[in-house]
Amino acid sequence: MSKTVFVTGGAGFIGSNFIFHMMDKYPAYRIVCLDKLTYAGNLSTLASVLKKENFRFVKIDICDREGIYQLFEEEKPDVVVNFAAESHVDRSIEDPEVFLKTNILGTQILMDACRKFGNIRFHQVSTDEVYGDLPLDRPDLLFTEETPIHTSSPYSAAKASADLMVQAYHRTFGLPVTISRCSNNYGPYHFPEKLIPLMIANALNDKPLPVYGEGLNVRDWLYVEDHCKAIDLILHKGRIGEVYNIGGHNEMRNIDIVRLICKALDKPESLITYVADRKGHDMRYAIDPTKIHNELGWLPETRFEEGIQKTIQWYLDNREWWETIISGEYQNYYKNMYENR
């Protein structure tokens, strides 16, 4: 069977890894990547697939209703997987508006196109951050799909709003949707503004490693390929209208991650610099993935010790990719975010 799959945000971190996974596993599928190429999108990431016959890249804003409708008419997709988003919490604290535009309105425009061109299957890539955070002293508590939405940052509030719209389009218009809510990802092509790639890049350049607060916040880390495999399963076997949590029971404190990176790169821990905490900083995320395991048989395949080594090696082997990124507009971002912090 051949299918046309629209992947929005496919020039970003997880979307690009998802494209590689899909092109490898389903050579008969046509993959169309829709991406605005914001600061977070890099066409060079997609270099290995750009010339393939069953792949097309379209530079487009998901908020461009007319352009989106034209593309749906032309390509007649069978499935839309929406990764496109503004994704960085710190940026959402500095300037929330674009988060509302892309993450909420963009999602709505894509779903309107899905309705208009034949009730097309829509998958929303969401985040565990819609559940807010958990206390550090209650390790027994985990996010399930029934945990109430309780957001902290403009980023998570915008993602949660999109989720509510997706559920509304299912209930009101019968749009065939699914939603996945994943914990923190790490792996190749992760933009170096996020914790793990930022610490690797800074350590390699012998620059300070800025840890927010005391570094005690906990995140539940999942190797990006495991996330992509989970979305693939949901697309092919998931129940319409359902939410699936994705996570690998891999909770770690930020400070322990940073120390581990120092050790792996043989850099001194004296590079670690404690800086002012993030406003509204979520303490702990932890996913209960029982539903996706029981219903779809998904389990994470990459242990953290293995995944982090692979990731560090990737950043060592692909210096040009991240050095190009941090040599441009990123310099201004970094100065604004970290100078005098």
3-class secondary-structure state, position 248: coil
Q: Is 214 a catalytic residue?
A: no
Please, which residue, 278 or 310, has the CB nearer to ligand TYD? 278
| Smallest separation, CB 246 to ligand NAD (Å) | 8
Give yes or no for residue 254 binding ligand TYD (CB under 6 A).
yes
Is 159 a binding residue for ligand TYD by CB under 6 A? The answer is no
Check residue 125 for interaction with ligand NAD (CB under 6 A): yes
Alpha carbon 316 to its chain's center:
22
The contact mask relative to ligand TYD for 258-287 (x = CB under 6 A, - = no) is --------------------x---------
Q: Please, are residues 37 and 11 in contact by the beta-carbon 8 Å criterion?
A: yes
**Up-side HSE of residue 173: CA atoms within 13 Å toward CB?**
20
What is the closest distance, in whole angstroms, from the C-beta atom of residue 283 to ligand TYD in the complex?
A: 9
CA distance 48 to 27: 14
Residues recorded for the chain: 341
The entry of ligand NAD, ligand TYD, none near residue 11 (CB within 5 to 8 angstroms by kind) is ligand NAD
Q: Which stretch binds ligand NAD (CB under 6 A): 78-86, 135-143, 255-263, 322-330?
A: 78-86
Per-residue binder mask for ligand NAD (CB under 6 A), 145-164, x = binder = --------------x-----
Q: Pull the structure tokens for residue 250.
A: 């891999």
Query: 33 near 19, Cβ under 8 Å?
Result: yes
Between vectors from CA 275 to CA 189 and to CA 323, what angle results, nearest 5°? 30
Residue 12 or 248 having the CB closest to ligand NAD: 12
Two tokens, residue 340? 């005098």
To ligand NAD, the closest distance from the beta carbon of 340 in angstroms equals 26
61 binds ligand NAD per the rule CB under 6 A: yes
Q: Which two tokens stand for residue 186?
A: 């790490």
Closest chain position to ligand NAD (CB): 12
- Verify whether residue 129 is a known catalytic residue: yes
Q: For residues 241 and 37, is the Cβ–Cβ distance under 8 A?
A: no
Site residues for ligand TYD, 188-217, by CB under 6 A, read 194-195, 198, 210-212, 217
Which of these is catalytic: 35, 61, 128, 163? 128
> Using the rule CB under 6 A, which residue among 6, 55, 57, 83 binds ligand NAD?
83
Neighbours of 95 (CB within 10 A): 10
Closest to 40 in 3D by CA, of 99, 80, 81, 97: 99
CB atoms within 10 A of CB 1: 6
Burial 125-161 (b: 16+ CB within 10 A, else e): bbbbbbbbbbeeeeeeebbebebeeebbbbbbbbbbb
Q: Which of 35, 133, 155, 226 is catalytic?
A: 155
Q: Which is nearer to ligand NAD, 159 or 267 (CB)?
A: 159
Q: Which of 129, 226, 251, 282 is catalytic?
A: 129
Give CA–CA dist 258/223, Å, rounded: 17
Tokens linked to 305: 């010790």
Whose Cβ is closer to ligand TYD: residue 40's or residue 198's?
198
Report the alpha-carbon distance of residue 230 to residue 142 in Å, rounded.
19
Contact call for residue 245 and ligand NAD (CB under 6 A): no
With binding defined as CB under 6 A, does residue 127 bind ligand NAD?
yes
The answer to whether residue 155 is catalytic is yes
Q: Which position has the token pair 């994705």?
A: 246
Q: Which residues are catalytic?
A: 128-129, 155
- Binding residues for ligand TYD (CB under 6 A): 89, 184, 194-195, 198, 210-212, 217, 219, 254, 278
- Binding residues for ligand NAD (CB under 6 A): 8-9, 11-15, 35-38, 40-41, 61-63, 83-87, 102, 106, 125, 127, 159, 182, 184-185, 191
